[in-house]
Amino acid sequence: MAASVAIAQPSGYILQQNQQQLQPPPGSKPATTTAVATPAMPQASNRSGKAVHLGLLLPLDSPQLKEAAQVLKAGFDAAAAANLDSNTQISVASLTDDAAIEAGYQQLQSAGASFIVGPMTRQGAARLAQHSKLPALVLNTLEQAPPAGSKVWSLSLAVETEAPPVVRLLQDDGRQQPVLLFNAEPLSQRLRTAFTEAWPARGGKPLREVDVSNPDPEQLNAALSGADAVILALDSKEAAANRALLPASLASYAVSLVNTQQPVPSLQGVRFVDMPWFLMPEHPETRGIARPSGNLTRATERLYALGVDAYRLASALASGKAPAQIKLGGATGDLRLGKGWQVQRDLPSSVVGGTQ
């Protein structure tokens, strides 16, 4: 039975970036009122010849997260519909909150699911990872390793995972003396940590850092003396405000937060990384998957793309392929699995104001 009281929890940077209520694409299935496993009709046999039964575990009945979960599920369903060469069965457990995860998991297991997909909160992902006996793909960051011997992987769109590809972009461009701009906001602090860890890992010198919580143009210009680039470890609003204070000729780099539907003039020319779903819409591996039919925000559509890749990656893992041999391109990045539990996403780059 689903718990009756929802747990208050931060919903992550994707949800925080939305300035309007999340809206599922028209025609998506409404959430049920309790945790219920509902088998989907299997399709033709897949290439491996092995039947796959995925159990999707999402907060479709959560007062705070149900609309986000519906958008993610719509992407999952779109990828399943496009996979004509499969024998994949899908059961769904609708949760009210993270307290219902164990009950939802048991219902999916009773329905015959052999592989779990979800949940989508950090707390829920951690909870499932510690207890799941079935292989699983959780859809958020795992801050601690799953128990030894378990088969649990993490596919996350956490913005700090974009720091390494931005660092690679900087170094591919020959930047050697970038300055990191950050402020006191939690999101910026997470980005700051990610960039300071990623830069030395690429063989560079320690990053010079500037706290721009109270920006002073003269002080900022002095701190930038000798710099050949800046990294904007800030949300889109703060990145735009601080970029306006910088010399126009100074190369600027950022994560996907600056890739909004209506680019701010001061961010024109900033180099950033983002998912192929936006930067490479004709990617051969995903161009056959239906785009959302609703008017989603850029941030909300990221959840749809996450659902697309959740289905594709879970299907590959559940079919028995060796994780190290799985490489998928398309929606949220070029996906690959290393020795750890975190799915690695390689991201393409673009320029704010450029053609996408």
What is the pLDDT at residue 355? 59
What is the distance of C-alpha 44 from the center of its chain? 30
- pLDDT confidence bin for 203, thresholds 50/70/90: confident
Element holding 90 (H helix, E strand)? strand 88-94
pLDDT, averaged across the chain = 86
Question: Tens digits of per-residue pLDDT, 131-161?
Answer: 999 999 999 999 899 999 899 999 999 999 9
Least confident of 33-47, 114-128, 142-156, 332-346: 33-47
Residue with structure tokens 């028995």?
320
Amino acid identity at 221: N
The token pair at 39 is: 């088998």
Q: Which of 26-35, 183-192, 326-335 has the lowest mean pLDDT?
A: 26-35
pLDDT average, residue stretch 168-174: 95
pLDDT of residue 215: 79
Q: Which residues of 207-216 are buried (b: 16+ CB within 10 A; e: fewer)?
A: bbebebeebe
Residue 19 has pLDDT above 60, yes or no: no
Listed in order, the ranges of the chain carrying CATH 3.40.50.2300 are 12-157+280-347, 160-274
Q: What is the mean pLDDT of residues 220-240?
A: 94
Looking at 37-41, 49-53, 112-116, 337-341, which range is the least confident one? 37-41
User: Which of 12 and 151 is assigned the larger pLDDT?
Assistant: 151
Long-range contacts, stretch 337-345, CB < 8 angstroms, 24+ apart: 337/153, 340/145, 341/129, 341/142, 341/145, 341/146, 341/152, 341/153, 341/154, 342/141, 342/142, 342/153, 342/154, 342/156, 342/161, 343/137, 343/153, 343/154, 343/155, 343/156, 343/313, 345/161, 345/165, 345/275
User: For position 201, what pLDDT does the model report?
Assistant: 73
Above 80 in pLDDT, residue 45?
no
pLDDT of amino acid 93:
98
Highest averaged pLDDT of the listed ranges 217-226, 292-301, 326-335: 326-335
Section 20-42 average pLDDT: 39
- pLDDT tens by residue, 280-327: 999 999 999 999 988 899 989 999 999 999 999 999 999 988 898 999
Mean pLDDT of 249-261: 96
CATH fold of 12-157+280-347 reads Rossmann fold (3.40.50)
Q: What is the pLDDT of residue 340?
A: 84
CATH architecture of 160-274: 3-Layer(aba) Sandwich (3.40)
**pLDDT (mean) for 12-18:** 43
Q: Between residues 263 and 155, which one has the greater pLDDT?
A: 155
Burial class (CB in 10 A: 0-12, 13-18, 19+), 295: exposed
> What would the two tokens of residue 228 be?
């050949």
